[in-house]
């Protein structure tokens, strides 16, 4: 593939921008400046640098972000910075989108991709993908609260009660809370419907994929084979 087309596919701008980028001498392959935008390379596994920054060709982008608090999961945020401010602009340019959304004050694992099928699969409620949250409650939990959440609470715009897939008590104000749907403000609304209030929410895992320990709030990383395997390994995830 011609190098300017490779650059365009990776989010470095329009074809014209990418031809100009190559001509400017900022693109190197194996330490050699490539200034011919039409130079041909095998895209598969192609590594290059732009202005000294290393990149690898990826047909599709799959990444994990440790979403910090006070960030909105939209491109045009209203009150807080966008999560896209935490990512290289090439990723937004190539159409990367979050797989579902977390509220501005929720922290933790957020997947992003420009693969529409991947986004659809992992954000749909159909696959019953477990999403595990650490919840901080306003009031100490009670057996009645946990019972109500496990047997199902009625949310006003839902036809049927929704239940937590699992709850584990951490201490009197903290729970691990697993849901398999992905409804708007689901955890907060379920806990409010059961008579308590969420004071803090952190997503620890999606499917079988845990938030990588190496990530700090605001950090992101490419997904590797090991992360895809982990993501798909959860009970009920084989069909
Ligand atoms: N449930 C919520 O209420 N908020 C989130 O950000 C995620 C799940």
* pLDDT digits 0-9 by tens, 197-234: 999 999 999 999 999 999 999 999 999 999 999 999 99
Q: What angle do CA 118, 122, 125 make, to 5 degrees?
A: 140
pLDDT value at residue 235: 79
> Is beta strand 107-113 parallel, antiparallel or unpaired with respect to 198-206?
parallel
The superfamily (CATH) of domain 130-206 is Alpha-L RNA-binding motif (3.30.70.1560)
**CA pair distance 16, 13, nearest whole angstrom:** 8
pLDDT value at residue 238: 55
Strand partners, 202: 107, 134
Burial of 49 (0-12, 13-18, 19+ CB in 10 A): middle
Nearest CA to ligand 1 atom 3: 185
Active site residue 115: no
- Cβ of 181 below 6 Å from ligand 1: no
pTM: 0.94
pLDDT in tens, 125-142: 888 999 999 999 999 999
- What burial letters (b/e) apply to 8-36, b meaning 16+ CB within 10 Å? bbbbbbeeeebbebbeeebbbeeeeebee
DSSP annotation string for 130-151: -EEEEEEESS---HHHHHHHHH
- The candidate with the shortest Cα–Cα distance to 112, out of 38, 157, 175, 61, is 61
Pick the catalytic residue: 17, 35, 103, 105? 103
Q: Does the structure show a pLDDT above 90 at 45?
A: yes
> Is beta strand 107-113 parallel, antiparallel or unpaired with respect to 131-137?
unpaired
Q: For the chain, give every domain's residue range.
A: 3-56, 62-125+208-231, 130-206
3-state secondary structure (DSSP) of residue 203: strand
Phi-psi region of 100 (alpha: psi -120 to 50; beta: other; left: phi over 0): left
- Cβ of 102 below 6 Å from ligand 1: yes
pLDDT value at residue 237: 58
Average pLDDT, the chain: 96
- Cβ of 148 below 6 Å from ligand 1: no
Look at 30-34, 92-96, 209-213, 233-237 and tell me which has the smallest mean pLDDT.
Answer: 233-237
Percent of the chain whose predicted confidence (pLDDT) is above 70: 99
pLDDT value at residue 161: 97
Give the CATH class of 62-125+208-231. alpha beta
The rounded Å distance from CA 186 to ligand 1 centre is 5
CATH topology of domain 3-56: 3.10.290
The rounded Å distance from CA 115 to ligand 1 centre is 23
Q: Does the structure show a pLDDT above 90 at 239?
A: no
**CA pair distance 83, 80, nearest whole angstrom:** 9
Nearest CA to ligand 1 atom 2: 185
Same fold, 3-56 and 62-125+208-231: no
- Cβ of 107 below 6 Å from ligand 1: no
The rounded Å distance from CA 134 to ligand 1 centre is 11
């Amino acid at each position: 593939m011609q190098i300017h087309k490779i650059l365009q596919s990776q989010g470095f701008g329009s074809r014209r921008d990418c031809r100009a980028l190559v001509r400017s001498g900022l693109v190197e392959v194996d330490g050699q400046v490539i200034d011919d935008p039409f130079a041909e390379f095998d895209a598969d596994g192609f590594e290059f640098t732009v202005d000294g920054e290393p990149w690898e060709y990826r047909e599709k982008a799959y990444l994990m972000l440790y979403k910090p608090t006070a960030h909105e999961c939209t491109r045009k945020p209203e009150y807080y910075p966008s999560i896209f401010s935490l990512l290289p602009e090439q990723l937004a340019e190539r159409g990367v989108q979050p797989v579902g959304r977390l509220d501005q004050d929720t922290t933790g694992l957020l997947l992003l991709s420009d693969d529409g099928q991947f986004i659809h699969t992992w954000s749909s409620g159909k696959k019953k993908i477990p999403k595990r949250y650490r919840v901080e409650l306003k009031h100490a939990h009670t057996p009645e609260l946990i019972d109500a959440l496990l047997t199902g609470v009625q949310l006003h715009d839902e036809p049927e009660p929704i239940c937590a897939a699992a709850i584990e008590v951490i201490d009197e104000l903290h729970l691990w809370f697993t849901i398999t749907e992905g409804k708007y403000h689901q955890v907060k609304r379920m806990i409010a419907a059961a008579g308590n209030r969420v004071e803090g929410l952190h997503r620890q895992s999606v499917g079988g994929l845990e938030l990588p320990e190496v990530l700090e709030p605001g950090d992101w990383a490419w997904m590797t084979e090991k992360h895809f395997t982990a993501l798909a390994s959860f009970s009920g995830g084989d069909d």
